[in-house]
Structure 1
Amino acid sequence: MAELLDHGLGPVRTCIGCRKQGSRSELVRLVAQGNGSSAVLVDVRRRMAGRGAWLHPSEKCLALAIKRRAFGRALAGAAETGAVERYLMPGTPLVEAQAPTGKPSKPESGSEN
């Protein structure tokens, strides 16, 4: 690890999915939302308060982290990974997608009364 720091790669972090080490710039920082929530958030700017976990931005590492239940261990019980999945795989529907309510998202033209 000292050799990596000597070559100017900066701080070394470990991916919670594949368990391989990489520089901060190669990994995405994750934090627990807090306030009693079990949600995991992506800390894009790497400035959010609290303990952070690190993950390679790949579907493979995300799947490994979910399979290993690594989010809950790294972030004290946080397990809701929807925000991480949306960040890493935009456009891919979540398995836990909400059921439609049957209400239109916008009122039809002329029905605003």
Structure 2
Amino acid sequence: MRWKTFAPAAAGLALGGTLLVGPSAGADPSGVRMDSVTWKRSCGTTYKGWMANNYARTVKAGGGTCQGDAWVRVYWAGGWSSWEHHARDIEVRLPGVARSQHKGCADCKVYTLP
């Protein structure tokens, strides 16, 4: 499992806390309601995105011939985090995630939750 830890920053915002990014598995253990989206790119690959109040995740579920990574970012503490990506599975964990965005390549269509 690959994890990346860093302090997020956005122009004009003081964002404290730690952002953990990496591939992962499992569902939200707290039982909090989750929003989700599933889409298929024109190259035939299916992607899935999830969001709860403490994380967001995008998975490249398979099929097709797409070369694009799974991408995710979150709206947290008044601003959007930077985009993070991984070849198969990427997750961002932060308390108080308000929204999330998911995509299947750097310049692909963006899906926003909720």
Greater share of helix residues, 1 or 2? 1
Normalised by the length of structure 2, the TM-score is 0.28
Normalised by the length of structure 1, the TM-score is 0.29
